[in-house]
Amino acid sequence: MIFNIQILRAFAALNVVFFHIIGIAEKYGRPVYFFEVFDGWGKCGVDIFFVLSGFVVMHSYDGSKKSPGQFFLNRVVRVVPVYWVLIFFLFILNFAVPNLFRSFDVNDQKWLASLFFVSGYFGFPYPVINVGWTLEYEMTFYLLLAMSFFLKNVVWRYVFLLSSIAALVFFDALQLMAFEFLLGILCARIFKFDLILRNWMPLFFLGSIFLCVSIFYRPSMDRFYLYGIPAFLIVLGLINSPNLELRALLFLGDASYSIYLIQFFAISFFYKVIQIKSINLNGDLLSIAALSFSVAFGCLFYVFVEKPITKFFKKMSLR
């Protein structure tokens, strides 16, 4: 295991959660002031996740004897069960308490499209769980990658991936950020063959500087350039640098998928309770409390829901 990758997962998840906290806090009349400078910036965590996904799946598959079908099944087992649990929970909650969510109007087509990771292809801006749009990108990438593995020639494999993603971007089925998966694959190839440099930390620092500058200065450009390229440099620098073994951050990295998904429920629940109890605290302090609550909730969900479910379905897939 590359520990630096797990730590970067934790950073990416926390960034996305705080990004949503800032937006939701405003809706509940509890806006942040000191942290307002981060408004809109935390979504860069998604770009980091995409580069990481490209790296991890290529690094783990490269040299393995798994068939393309086994590869895709492994990714389905990793992503789908926990996501479906939350969708079904949301469905039951919406059916039992229809007025619980603000402006939550979902038809049958959207429920089905969300379950099968195709809501974007059916014209819905988001699936029923908003953050699930990124999983739809992930599943599209996994499917294309699995298809590419049927090609024995490595060059044709990458030509297929590049042309497929380019076509989907050209026809507006995906955003330009879909190419970030390919940047992750490029990281995996450089890592495997130990190309170009011996000291990679300068790349990590360069990417970090670009990412930090974007907190204060965000020129009008696609997020692929604003966040994706720095994410590529950060990942490339970290995977070729000495590993940091920080247990707390490694655990958060392990729990990052649960933290990422459960925020949809945790943040809204937190601010609803604050509103009902009329708790009068500074918006910035509340945002920190909301982040802590959401992360804690995500960690509990990881331990008691994600791990057992994933373990069960892994055993099933091996039979």
Please give the chain's pLDDT, 319 residues, in tens. 689 999 999 999 999 999 999 999 999 999 999 999 999 999 999 999 999 999 999 988 876 778 999 999 999 999 999 999 999 999 998 888 776 666 666 788 999 999 999 999 999 999 999 999 999 999 999 999 999 999 989 899 999 999 999 999 999 999 999 999 999 999 999 988 776 566 788 999 999 999 999 999 999 999 999 999 999 999 999 998 888 888 999 999 999 999 999 999 999 999 999 999 888 899 999 999 999 999 999 999 999 999 999 999 988 776 6
Output the pTM of the full model: 0.95
Taking a C-beta distance cutoff of 8 angstroms, is the pair 1, 244 a contact? no
**CA angle at 278 for the pair 275 and 279, rounded to the nearest 5°:** 100
Q: What span, in angstroms and rounded, lies between the C-alpha atoms of 48 and 59?
A: 16
- State pLDDT tens for residues 110-160: 999 999 999 999 999 999 999 999 999 999 999 999 999 999 898 999 999
Domain positions in the chain = 3-317
Which DSSP symbol is given to 178? G
Exposure string of 252-275, with b = 16+ CB inside 10 Å and e = fewer, is: bbbbbbbbbbbbbbbbbbbbeebe
CB atoms within 10 A of CB 298: 26
The pair of structure tokens assigned to 63 is: 């040299």
Q: What span, in angstroms and rounded, lies between the C-alpha atoms of 256 and 260?
A: 6
The pair of structure tokens assigned to 311 is: 């373990």
